[in-house]
Amino acid sequence: MKKIIIPLFVCLIILAVSIGAMQWRAQSADDDMLATSQNEEAIADLEEIDNADRDISASQDQNQYPARVENDSFVIGSPDAPITILEFSSFSCPHCATFHKNTLSDLKNDYVDSGKVKFVFNDFPLNGAAVKASLLMKCVDVENRYDFMEMLFEQQSQWAFESDYQTRLKQYASLLGISNDTAESCMNDTATEQAMFTKMRANNEKYKVQSTPTFVILPSEKIITGAQPYGVFSTEIERLLKEVN
C-alpha cells in the first residue's frame, strides 16, 4: 500500500508545481502585456500633450502681437487695430488694480490678441510710490513689461502703501535680473520723470482726466471712468466694430 501512496503523492506534488509554474508564466505574460499596453498609452499621452502644446504655441504666435513702445507709452495689440483704448492709471490706485485683476485679461483675450483692439497704457501716477513704479517699469525689457505691470498691480497691497516701497520694487525688479543699482538709477531718472509729467499734463488737458483709472476709446472718444466691468467695454467695442466693418 505504501509503495502505491508514495509515488502517487510525489506525482501530485509534481503536478501541483507544474500547474503553479504554468499559472505564474501566464500571469507574467499578462503582466508584461499590461505593462507594454500602459507604456504605449503613456507614450501616446505624452505625444498628445506635446502636440497640444505645439498647437497652443502656434495659436499664440498667430494671435499675439509684439508688445512695444509708442510715443513713450507701453502698447499691446495690432498696430492696425480699428479700435484703440487709452488707459490712464496709477500703480498705487486700488481701482486700477481691480481693473487689471478682473477685466483686462478678458479684454486682452477677446479683442487685443485677435487684432481688434490696441491697448495703450499711459502713466498717471498719483503719489511718490506710483512715480517710482512707473519709472522702474520703463527700464524693464519691453517683452517683460506686461507681466511686470500685472505683478505690480497683483501685489499692490504688499508694496504701494509701505514706507519701504522702493526696497520692495527693487526686489520685484531683481526677478527679471535687474540689479539694485540699475533699479535705483531708473527710479531716480529725473529727465524721464519730467518727460512723464509733461505728457501727463498734455493728456489731462486733452481728455480731462480727473481720476484713475480713466479710459478713452477711439475713434468714438468715449470716456469710461473707474474699474468698470467687462460688459461696459465690450458693448462699446462691439458697437464700434459694427461701424468700421
pLDDT above 70 covers a percentage of the chain that reads 74
Q: Note whether 110 and 144 are within 8 A (CB).
A: no
Residue 73 pLDDT: 96
Q: Using CB atoms within 10 Å of the CB of residue 77, give its burial: 0 to 12 exposed, 13 to 18 middle, 19+ buried.
A: buried
Cell for 56?
Answer: 497652443
- CA dihedral (25, 31, 36, 39) in degrees, to 10, reads -160
pLDDT at 3 exceeding the cut of 60: no
Residues 67-109: pLDDT tens digits? 999 999 999 999 999 999 999 999 999 999 999 999 999 999 9
pLDDT at 164 exceeding the cut of 50: yes
Residue 27 pLDDT: 53
Distance in angstroms (rounded) separating the CA atoms of residues 167 and 152:
13
Among residues 202, 147, 194, which one has the least CA distance to residue 172?
147
Average pLDDT (111-124) is: 97
Residue 244 pLDDT: 84
Mean pLDDT value across the chain: 83
